[in-house]
A and B are shown apart, each in its own frame.
Chain A
Amino acid sequence: MYYVKRIGQSVLVFFIALTVTFALYRLLPFGPVEMVKVSLMQQMLEQGQSPSPAQMENINAMVETYTGIDPSVPWYVSYYEYLYNIVVYQDFGRSIFKNRPVFDILFEAMPWSLFISIYGLAFGTTISLLFGAVMAYNEGGKFDTGMTFISIANSTIPYYVVAILTLIVFSFNLGWFPSGGRMDPSTTPGLNLPFIVGVVKHAALPIFSAFIAGFGGALAFRGNCIREMGEGYIRVAQLRGISQGRIAIRYVGRNALLPIYTSIMMGVAGIFGSGIILETIFNYPAMGMVTFNALMNRDYPLIMGAFIFFTAITLLGILIADLTYGVIDPRVKGGSNRESY
């Protein structure tokens, strides 16, 4: 029952997000449709022509080619068509600049974005959990102090500064890694070693920067571990002679992980959003870069499509976090009374 409710809630949020997107794009004053229309009409007035019905039709047609929207259709009809096309046909419209369906463009770019962000998030999470645990066990020691310092330093440095600096050092100056693209153009795609090496080399710096962006949970995990270690049941476990490793992983680690599990999954959202900045810096042609180019070319259907894609992925990440929370923490059992996020 909880699962059904939770999934239903996600679907509802998705539709609200779609509606907000639609409203932002078409209904608000000074949106793209109105801007194009006003500038076209002004041009016409400057040439000394008054807008006759025939010319209005002409203007409307031009607005449609610029924005992919026919302004003569009332908004509720186009809203219905917009939702209907997305839900039934997965049709997000056609890209104005590339003249291809938006869905195809994004669907091709998507795996590469997933590739970078999932590896970045996985490395970031693993390392910060490991470090957090070791810091907690050496509380007050040299490693703890040093890592606390590094964690604070890490949160003062934005990930794109790391990206720019690594790009300058390792790519422009040392030449160890390529500065753009996602594969070696001289290799044939497929399961062969040169191709894989090329892909890994092109992804290394973006993944490293995503890793820096996702590296932040160490201090929170350290705090949770320390709190768990003071609990009575840990003493009981030690007295029962359970091995240190088992206590560390099954008792302390697992219980300390729970409070930050959702925030880790929320990291998916952050990393996808930051993909636009990262991929542009590294010239890595995936979803973020597609979005960026669309922004630069004012390719509105593509921008909106990308935005909906980002929202859907984020929603999916949070939904998975919520549904698996019960698996990781049996006390929750799909707890509907839980305060998540």
Chain B
Amino acid sequence: MFTQTSNVPEPTAREKAYRTFERRIYAPSAVLLNDWRGLVGSAILVAFVFIGTVGVYLIPEPTVMEGPIFAAPFSSWNHPLGTSVMGESIFKQVVHATPAMLQMITAGALLSVCLGTTIGTVAGYRGGRTDQALMTLTDVVLTIPGLALVIVLATIYQPESPFVVGLILGIDNWPTLARTVRSQVLSVREESFTEASRIMGLSERHILRRDVISNLMPYISVNFANSSRKIIFESVGLYFLGILPVSQLNWGVMMNNAYSKADLTNPDQLHWLLVPMALIVFISLGFILLAQGLDRVFNVRLRARHESTSGGESR
């Protein structure tokens, strides 16, 4: 009686790819770009990524004496942000400092989010001994003052690659995320849909991925943006003080040069210092706005209202 199954044609690979694209990429970005904060935030970040990838090839490297010394910003098209003490264009310096910053942010934010989510999820879902061990580890890293540890690590090992610097800075970031993720997992694992998956005998990996982590996406995405911002702050601070070894130009190094070489009582020379500062503020504004926009994307209730944009597909 129940042996007859309906005849649903298997979707072709192309249809599958199309559906995945629509569900995973098109719908979330439509929701994200509908919100002004998401729009502005992603525009800012896309601009920085553009500068850091394509811009480096379009704009030549800064050279000495390409303009007058300490030209004011916004006065000439040859050096839109003015020049520094040796007549180098500040705009060119900014462009060539961006890739290092982006590499640092990517490495650090990825490390802290991956580590925080994995440890938090496993600890919360498994419970018992595993939970205790992982949470003790988290507590230890949490109580060790992060910035001080990062500074000590940076001096002992003198990392030069921006990726490694990012990873070291990421160490400071994951424990808080692991803590919050764990407490969320504790409530999600008791929900009926998780229980249903468990009864159906789905593998633990499947449950963790599809039921638990997909429900935690709002926290994870917001934390990704927040830890990116923290990594920018800390790295620029450490490069500014000259604690990290300088291998290539970045905003912290620019600030360090400006702070030590410009006459700080002369307002005509201050723009050299102010430009990298403004960039930090700008990129972290981008991350904050993106975090708020992403909150909308993953917030289920808000999302339901926007479902029409994805052709009624629901997860």
Residues of A within 8 A of B (CB): 9, 12-13, 16-17, 20, 24-25, 30-32, 152, 155-158, 160-161, 164-165, 168, 172-173, 269-270, 272-274, 276-277, 280-281, 291-292, 295, 298, 303-304, 306-307, 310-311, 314-315, 318, 339, 341
Contact = CB atoms under 8 A, between A and B. Distances in A.
B284 A156 contact: yes
Chain B at the A interface: SS class: helix
Contact of A168 (B142, B176, B243, B270): B270
Contacts of A165: 277
Interface string B114-152: 000000000000000000000010011011111111011
Contact of B148 (A20, A310, A341): A310
A165 B157 CA distance: 31
Given A164-B273, A172-B265, A280-B241, A298 B144 contact: no
Contacts of B285: 152, 156
Most chain B beta carbons < 10 A, residue from A20, A156, A157: A156
Interface stretch (B17-25, B51-59, B101-109, B232-240): B232-240
A41 B237 CA distance: 36
Interface residues of B, number: 40
Contacts of B64: none
A314 B148 CA distance: 11
B147 A276 contact: yes
Given A152-B288, A339-B183, A20 B144 contact: yes
Given A13-B139, A168-B270, 13 more contacts: A16-B136, A20-B144, A24-B153, A32-B156, A157-B280, A158-B233, A164-B259, A269-B146, A272-B145, A272-B148, A277-B241, A307-B145, A307-B152
Given A276-B151, A291-B151, A311 B143 contact: yes
A315 B152 contact: no
B304 interface: no
Contacts of A314: 143-145
Nearest to A32: B156
Interface string B280-315: 110011001000000000000000000000000000
A314 B179 CA distance: 18
Contacts of B280: 157-158, 161
